[in-house]
Amino acid sequence: MKDIVNHNYHLFIYAVLFLGSLAFSFLINSLFLRFFFTLGIRNTNDGTVIRWGSMSKPAVGGLSFYIVFLLSLATYSIFFNNNETLYNSQFMGFIMAMAIGFLIGLADDAYNTKPVLKFLAQVSCAFSFIFTGTYIDLFDNMILNYLLTIFWVVGIMNSINMLDNMDGITATVSLGIIISAMVVITMSNDINNLYLASIIGLSAGLLGFLYFNWHPSKMYMGDTGSQFLGVFLAGIGIMFFWNNPYHITESLPIKKILTVAIAFLLPLVDTTVVVVNRVSKGKSPFIGGKDHTTHSLAYLGLKDNMVSWVYAGISLISVILVYVLNFLITTWDILYTVIFAGYFLIVLAVFFYTTSRIRAASKKPVEATPAYSASHYN
């Protein structure tokens, strides 16, 4: 009986947290939109920034993400009275990494920092995880695990940053990944999990932000948002996809890899397509351009809001497949490897095909869309 009461209490607090974070996100973004006019709007003479459209808008949405994240932690501390768990070293490393990601993004929006400084900050985020016990546990050799963790954190932070190039895309994709983590935690009956409060709060914060970021958008998240989201998603990716602690079904390295590939499908596919296409043309993958998977769909005739819906649909499929991988498949078979790896490769191939038609399609008139105040990596 006591367990049922505690369970219902947790659900009630999480529901209040979600609704409160949603309302707070809406209100604070409304205030930011009214009082912040230039944060994240780069110098128009800065040739390193390639924008999708012809207008600039304030990039302040990321500020609300971090505030909601902190309020979610406060909620957990106050209502669950579990301070011993809250202040363990692993969680403190998680908070430190979030702070570094947020600050380097804020600095980039305000001062247009050098790419090398951003890279060093991203590596620092990875070290914050590693030094406090959060790292990808895939190999017997710890050095390989640490190197993979650094590559993962830096890669995802840049991948989310690169994906942030059109209205509603990054928030929608990030929400899909966060919901996948939420499914893994809740379906494992671990509702007292230390990280669940921040996951629920941030999901509501993203929904509140999407009201202002859906096409035609009024604001962007900027590097403040994309860097914070990148390190947050990299962290929960390590804890709940790479190192799933629940082991409800058979745990195998290939299953871990496929879970990660499906959960992070869109960021991984977009980054792979952009990097391969740019390198094959002798261009730097870090110099911006209108050659992302999102752009290819727009060039082929989809309007901006339609592109967002396509990405939302693929994200929903990813959530369902993560559930199937972790809770319905009890004994692994080579057929499952073929099915899930095949799905990933099919999506990758489709986007490679669409981007291959960019040059021909881009010669046709395209509907003008609002500019995006993007980073160096777009």
R_g over Cα of the chain: 20
Q: Output the pTM of the full model.
A: 0.89
Give the separation between CA 164 and CA 377, rounded to whole angstroms.
Answer: 10
Residue 274 near residue 162 (C-beta atoms within 8 A): yes
What pLDDT digit, counting tens, does each position of 230-266 carry?
Answer: 999 999 999 999 998 887 666 788 999 999 999 999 9
329 lies in some domain:
yes
| Residue 37, pLDDT above cutoff 70 | no
pLDDT attached to residue 2: 59
User: The domain containing residue 150 runs over which residues?
Assistant: 2-39+58-361
Q: Which amino acid would we find at residue 216?
A: P
Residue with tokens 């924008």: 51
Q: Where are the alpha helices (DSSP H) in 264-303?
A: 265-280, 293-299
Q: Which one-letter DSSP state was computed for residue 43?
A: -
370 lies in some domain:
no
pLDDT attached to residue 237: 97
Residue 101 near residue 62 (C-beta atoms within 8 A): no
Instruction: Please give the residue that has the higher pLDDT: either 373 or 73.
Output: 73
Mean pLDDT of the chain: 85
Minimum mean pLDDT range among 16-25, 29-38, 66-75, 325-334: 29-38
CA atoms within 13 A on the CB side of 297: 18
pLDDT attached to residue 376: 39
pLDDT attached to residue 170: 95
Total domain count, the chain: 1
pLDDT attached to residue 52: 52
275 lies in some domain:
yes
Strand partners, 220: 59
285 lies in some domain:
yes
pLDDT attached to residue 204: 96
372 lies in some domain:
no
| Residue 368, pLDDT above cutoff 60 | no
SS3 220: strand
53 lies in some domain:
no
